[in-house]
Amino acid sequence: MNCPGCSAAMSTLALEGHVGTAIDIELCAGCQVFWFDRRESVQLSPGSTLKLFERIGQQAASRTSSLPDVLRCPRCQSRLVLTNDRQRNTPFRYWRCTLEHGRLITWFDFLREKHFIKPLSAPQLAELRQHVQMINCSNCGGPIDLTTHSSCSHCSSPISMLDLKQAGQVIAELQAAATSKAIDPALPIELARARREVDAAFASIEGHPTWWKDAAGTGIVEAGLGAVARWLRKRAT
């Protein structure tokens, strides 16, 4: 399958869905997008969601192109329709095939859908401006001049960051759900312990000198994703 954005061949990831079903999704690291057939995004098992999160973290700085204005379905070549959606209180968007062949979603909006992303608060934005003048938009890759803007002038996305506290909680929950095949009476205790571990691990990320360097070089969300990916690899060893 070729990417609707850059026409390059997409990579296929074989993942597990709910109740043991198999799901193949396509990704393009250059455009940083996923292609899901029909509603596969909501059918992913907790372990598969965690694998996608790790993959995004590992390749967060690999963007080589931006999406064109017109995107076509890789199945039928019909024009994809931009669709705005909401998960709880979090807005996100994707492009869908009107013939229901599937949908294209950026990694940024996938993270929004899974509650990993939050806009910067006014104090956080003020602190960012003290350290960085220019950043790249984590949604489209366009440059943002922080001296005059608080959102991307290309795609209108607000300057956002990885919600490290929420990421820690979700990762702990996903890890517990992915490894628990049966109901474990000790699971609440283990989950609380895991949350304390991730909170402690992420507590020193923001404000660290390398954080601002990474944020300026790759983007705020990408800096957080890189830190989380390193933490996940460390836990796996």
Q: What is the pLDDT along the chain (237 residues), one digit of tens a residue?
A: 999 999 999 999 888 877 677 888 999 999 999 999 876 566 777 778 777 877 887 777 677 778 999 999 999 999 999 999 987 778 899 999 999 999 999 988 988 888 788 888 888 888 888 888 888 888 888 889 998 998 988 888 888 887 766 666 666 666 666 665 554 555 556 556 655 655 555 555 555 566 667 777 777 777 777 766 666 666 655
Residue 124 and residue 196: Cα distance in Å, rounded? 23
Out of 53, 85, 113, pick the residue that ends a domain: 113
In this structure, the answer to whether residues 183 and 217 fall within a common structural domain is yes
Q: Is the pTM of this model over 0.85?
A: no
The answer as to whether 228 is a domain residue is: yes
Find the farthest-apart pair of alpha carbons in the chain and give their distance in angstroms, rounded.
Answer: 53
Out of 113, 139, 155, pick the residue that ends a domain: 113
In this structure, the answer to whether residues 121 and 105 fall within a common structural domain is no
What pLDDT is recorded for position 118?
Answer: 80
Residue 125 makes CB contacts below 8 A (sequence gap 6+) with 146, 150, 159
Residue 152 and residue 35: Cα distance in Å, rounded? 24
Which helix (DSSP H) or strand (DSSP E) does residue 83 occupy? strand 81-87
Out of 96, 113, 130, pick the residue that ends a domain: 113
* Range of the structural domain that residue 23 is part of: 11-113
Helix ranges (DSSP H) in the chain: 46-58, 107-113, 122-131, 164-179, 187-202, 209-218, 220-236
In this structure, the answer to whether residues 43 and 152 fall within a common structural domain is no
Beta bridge pairs of residue 44: 17
